[in-house]
Chain A
């Protein structure tokens, strides 16, 4: 076990995923205490910098989700004040948080990702983007999934079956971010592959499959709702599909420059059997029902061990 350190667990904050973050943070704190570290909990607010200065922590453990905590803001701040922290650096955070940017990068690098278009609110207001909607619809085809470019939860994720539904779905998504992603809907299986850094470099954990309880085609939102989904790990997949999913996850992880830990979400197309990467989360949840601890456990890595490894990433940048 590593030397006892003074660790500040950063959690909460003002993002829409605050509640989940508080739960992730609380679990990380317990694990860190069990590991013998000196733990200070910080709810990321206006006092964040003062608290960090005061506590003189050896490292910050990032349990923040969503805005500020996952988009590179807090990471940049920690760099500025010289506190080592777990997980990805500011640039990787920005690349992953902006789903449009991540998808463009993946397209360039040849990592399969569902076809899409990104629309900015300002472009609607000032550049007449509305006139391009028919082209977008034609190119991507219905049904479409519309989501805020930077939001990690179910909020603002809308399903548009036709031209009539698309504009309101875009406005809805733009409530959460200045940019909305319009993505071709892939009907198939929801997979997630967590990636964890180790002494021999990043390693893909077993694949998790999220199976919605209700087989409701149009109820896209329920897929993201706790209690509406059953998770299976390791996912029951042919070995080569598992391998390819893990490979794609590692590719995305490396391409986006992630560090320490990340969760890569994928789709397995029901019709073609093709895998594609939807997005990469640099701040995966650590709650009882989160996918990262689930995958780690299936790989024989207990929760405390997982937290120890994530903490290690603060000192290996």
Chain B
């Protein structure tokens, strides 16, 4: 090709590769390299359409909150405290809000000292602030596998090395935790904290047993590690006995001279998002004082303070009493519990009907999520692409490497009405069915997926006994493989 047909000729030499990307590349922080926008996330953005039944979000059902009460509380805040509501507030949060937080934690049997509370902008900010305070690039965080998908980008942004420990029906196995810690020690790497969601884990739906909780705080104590206990759903228990928080278990062990009688190695994360509203953007941390001070400094740099408007809204709401003189917020949580319990049961029933025999799933005692794992090597990201009008979170989102968990999906049962849950699960089941038929046809373990005329569907292979004629029209690989395949299907 001659130079004239290539625009990269003389002018290129005049401007040597001073292209835009390189300009920005030189300015970007090293940590942005870990912040990736995956194709899967692009696809999930696409499912945020009104015609799609979304079982993907982490949404509570805010339509259950009384509009009259909302209006009343907002005007109350507006009328009685205009100047304060519109002003900056203290970084650690308003005292009235801290008292509400102590009240919420007391409902779970956890005693917290209001002076050890920091009010944050959603629970998410706690994860960010804890990383900001503790993590240098390359430091280790031990988390569960799968873990909260929303923590993944935060951990990545701080360039943490995350070790994920596969959970089972009782949460994080402490044996596996200990051997991971041993290995890390042998490698000369020191984890900074253990991140766990003990109640109705997101996305796994499982709850850490009491025995494991006790051992976890013991291990943390022995090894002098912090634990970040993420507990957004603790009050949303639909069955079974509530278990003590890690924070309260450790507080029992804490030495009296260590301070306010709280835990000295558990950082507790709570939020109003699931028991009241995520739109308020209010969460909190309760932490040992030295850690609390660092969180406070970090928060000053992040956003100075969380919104006084919504903090005052919470304080006003917690002062409300229902007709029987009981706190209105507790009555509301009870209503949510009844509603979500029913929705969980609707989803479990729908799963039985539409996923039965093709997947396994968790049966959460509370929270918002069910974790379903499909048989075979099905990639749920692909399934999502095939799905018409239904969305879920592909399992990969819950793993740091974005690859493991590919056969699983997180399903939210709390945010949508019963009929949508049934229809959504039915739609996913239908796509799975189509895929499985197709795969069966390709691997020779099932007849052609679409109904074909009987004469062609059952045309036997010349050397096949006629009794097997309905099994497979497309044997491939060697005879032994075909034999196994047939046996598998017969089971």
Q: Given the complex of chains A and B, what is the CA–CA distance between A123 and B40 in angstroms?
A: 28
- The one of B6, B34, B36, B438 that contacts A121, using a Cβ cutoff of 8 Å: B438
Contact B42 A153 (CB under 8 A): yes
Q: Given the complex of chains A and B, what is the CA–CA distance between A176 and B385 in angstroms?
A: 6
Residues of B within 8 A of A269 (CB): none
User: Which of the candidate stretches B16-24, B221-229, B245-253 sits at the interface with the other chain?
Assistant: B16-24
Residues of B within 8 A of A227 (CB): 32-37
Q: Given the complex of chains A and B, what is the CA–CA distance between A261 and B181 in angstroms?
A: 55
Contact A225 B442 (CB under 8 A): no
Q: Which residue of chain A has the shortest Cβ distance to B43 in the bound complex?
A: A16
Q: How far is the CB of B2 from chain A (nearest CB, A)?
A: 9
**B473 interface residue (CB < 8 Å to A):** yes
Residues of A within 8 A of B1 (CB): 204, 243, 246-247, 250
Contact B6 A246 (CB under 8 A): yes
Q: How far is the CB of A263 from chain B (nearest CB, A)?
A: 14
- The one of A153, A154, A200, A233 that contacts B4, using a Cβ cutoff of 8 Å: A200
Q: Given the complex of chains A and B, what is the CA–CA distance between A172 and B407 in angstroms?
A: 12
Contact B7 A204 (CB under 8 A): yes
User: Which of the candidate stretches B207-215, B277-285, B374-382 sits at the interface with the other chain?
Assistant: B374-382
Q: Which residue of chain A has the shortest Cβ distance to B49 in the bound complex?
A: A14
* Interface size of A in residues (CB-CB distance below 8 Å): 67
Contact B448 A298 (CB under 8 A): no
Residues of B within 8 A of A247 (CB): 1
Contact A124 B19, CB 8 Å, known A16-B43, A20-B42: no
- The one of A20, A126, A171, A175 that contacts B442, using a Cβ cutoff of 8 Å: A171
Q: Given the complex of chains A and B, what is the CA–CA distance between A246 and B383 in angstroms?
A: 38
* Interface size of B in residues (CB-CB distance below 8 Å): 56
Residues of B within 8 A of A175 (CB): 382-383, 385-386, 435
Q: How far is the CB of A4 from chain B (nearest CB, A)?
A: 26
Q: Which residue of chain A has the shortest Cβ distance to B7 in the bound complex?
A: A299
- The one of A124, A196, A288 that contacts B21, using a Cβ cutoff of 8 Å: A288
Q: Given the complex of chains A and B, what is the CA–CA distance between A153 and B444 in angstroms?
A: 30
User: Which of the candidate stretches A51-59, A89-97, A183-191, A289-297 sits at the interface with the other chain?
Assistant: A289-297
- The one of B12, B21, B385, B450 that contacts A299, using a Cβ cutoff of 8 Å: B12
**A141 interface residue (CB < 8 Å to B):** no
Q: How far is the CB of B1 from chain A (nearest CB, A)?
A: 5
Q: Which residue of chain A has the shortest Cβ distance to B35 in the bound complex?
A: A227
- The one of A153, A167, A231, A297 that contacts B443, using a Cβ cutoff of 8 Å: A167
- The one of A163, A171, A203 that contacts B439, using a Cβ cutoff of 8 Å: A171
Residues of A within 8 A of B477 (CB): 134, 163
- The one of A128, A154, A231 that contacts B39, using a Cβ cutoff of 8 Å: A154
Q: Given the complex of chains A and B, what is the CA–CA distance between A290 and B379 in angstroms?
A: 28
As a 0/1 sequence over residues 315 to 353 of chain B, the CB contacts with chain A under 8 angstroms (1 = contact) are 000000000000000000000000000000000000000
Contact B8 A299 (CB under 8 A): yes
Contact B36 A225 (CB under 8 A): yes
As a 0/1 sequence over residues 171 to 182 of chain A, the CB contacts with chain B under 8 angstroms (1 = contact) are 111111000000
Contact A128 B448 (CB under 8 A): yes
**B419 interface residue (CB < 8 Å to A):** no
Q: Given the complex of chains A and B, what is the CA–CA distance between A228 and B438 in angstroms?
A: 32
Contact B20 A297 (CB under 8 A): yes
Residues of B within 8 A of A81 (CB): none
Q: Given the complex of chains A and B, what is the CA–CA distance between A163 and B43 in angstroms?
A: 29
31-70 of chain B: CB within 8 A of chain A: 32-40, 42-43, 45-46, 49
Residues of B within 8 A of A129 (CB): 442
Contact A196 B7, CB 8 Å, known A153-B42, A155-B39, A171-B435: yes
**B491 interface residue (CB < 8 Å to A):** no
Contact B46 A16 (CB under 8 A): yes
**A33 interface residue (CB < 8 Å to B):** no
Contact B8 A293 (CB under 8 A): no
**A73 interface residue (CB < 8 Å to B):** no
**B479 interface residue (CB < 8 Å to A):** no
- The one of A16, A131, A293 that contacts B20, using a Cβ cutoff of 8 Å: A293
Contact A124 B15, CB 8 Å, known A14-B46, A205-B7, A227-B36: no
Q: Which residue of chain A has the shortest Cβ distance to B44 in the bound complex?
A: A19
Contact A155 B43, CB 8 Å, known A124-B442, A168-B439: yes
Q: Given the complex of chains A and B, what is the CA–CA distance between A227 and B377 in angstroms?
A: 27
**B441 interface residue (CB < 8 Å to A):** yes
Contact A225 B20 (CB under 8 A): no
Residues of A within 8 A of B17 (CB): 233-234, 298
Q: Given the complex of chains A and B, what is the CA–CA distance between A226 and B24 in angstroms?
A: 14
**A303 interface residue (CB < 8 Å to B):** yes
Residues of B within 8 A of A166 (CB): 442
**B186 interface residue (CB < 8 Å to A):** no
Instruction: Pick 25 A–B contacts, CB within 8 A, sort by A.
Output: A14-B49, A16-B39, A125-B437, A126-B448, A129-B442, A130-B474, A165-B377, A166-B442, A168-B376, A168-B379, A172-B382, A174-B438, A175-B383, A175-B385, A175-B386, A201-B5, A204-B7, A227-B35, A228-B36, A243-B6, A246-B6, A288-B20, A288-B24, A295-B8, A298-B8
Give me the 9 closest cross-chain CB pairs, A-B, nearest first: A300-B11, A206-B8, A167-B442, A175-B382, A297-B19, A175-B386, A227-B36, A299-B7, A172-B382
Q: Which A residues fall within an 8 A CB radius of B?
A: 14-20, 121, 124-126, 128-131, 133-134, 153-156, 163, 165-168, 170-176, 196, 198, 200-201, 203-207, 213, 221, 224-228, 231, 233-234, 243, 246-247, 250, 288-289, 293-295, 297-301, 303
Given contacts A128-B474, A231-B21, 15 further A-B contacts (CB under 8 A): A14-B46, A18-B42, A131-B474, A153-B39, A155-B40, A196-B7, A204-B1, A234-B17, A246-B1, A288-B21, A294-B20, A297-B19, A300-B7, A300-B12, A301-B7
